[in-house]
Structure 1
Amino acid sequence: MGTDEFLNLASSEVRRYVNRHNPESEVEVFDVYVVWNCKTLQNNKALLSTTLPDGMYFECTYNGDKQEMYLDAYKKEKNVCIKVGD
């Protein structure tokens, strides 16, 4: 699977997940965007999020050997600032 095809599928599945688990989001307009992606050999991985203020982010992994995609959903718990250096 090529990168564009994978990212389209991943974005679509994130949208489906959000609509299934948060029915009120179906009436809201929101975007799904890719934060990071990587392709290694026949495998793909991407981190995605939405413009909804729910703190969720998603990891999609495509296993090219099995032709399966896995979707992990995470909720941001905390953002901690760590000062480094002077």
Structure 2
Amino acid sequence: MNEQEFLLKAKKMVVDYTNKHLDKADDASISVDDVFNVWHAKVLQNSKGLFSTTMFDGMYYEVTYNGDKDVFYLDAYKKFENVEIKND
């Protein structure tokens, strides 16, 4: 799987996950255009990427592709806090 294929599949997974977990009362949804790649890397047949969306929900997503098993893993995280720590 090349880099572009991975990024598109990963973004689609984030869209599917996000849309399934949105509050139905909000009547909202996102598309692939609302997902952006923060970082990604490919090593041998494996890929990993960090993604976020344009939603103001504090969520970010990690998608991993295991090329040996031809399987994807999606981890969803919620940012609770951003604390500044001075370098002493």
Fold match by TM threshold 0.5: yes
The Cα offsets for residues 16-48 of structure 1, whole Å up to 9 and x where unpaired, read as 10001104332x677100000000000000000
Matched, 1:74 2:77: yes
- Counterpart secondary structure, 1:25: coil
Give 1:37-52 correspondences, 5 Å limit: 37-52=40-55
Q: Which residue of 2 aligns with 1:5?
A: 5
The Cα offsets for residues 42-80 of structure 1, whole Å up to 9 and x where unpaired, read as 000000000100000000000000000000000001100
Letter in 2 for 1:65: D
* Distance in 2 separating the partners of 1:52 and 1:11: 14
Q: Is the Cα contact below 8 Å between 1:18 and 1:25 reproduced in 2?
A: no
Structure 1 stretches of at least 4 aligned residues deviating more than 4 Å after TM superposition: none
**Structure 1 unaligned blocks of 5 or more:** none
Give 1:7-26 correspondences, 5 Å limit: 7-22=7-22, 23=24, 24-26=27-29
**Structure 2 unaligned blocks of 5 or more:** none
The two structures, once aligned, show a CA RMSD in angstroms of 1.5
- Counterpart secondary structure, 2:84: coil
TM-score (norm 1): 0.91
Identity %: 52
Matched, 1:65 2:58: no
TM-score (norm 2): 0.89
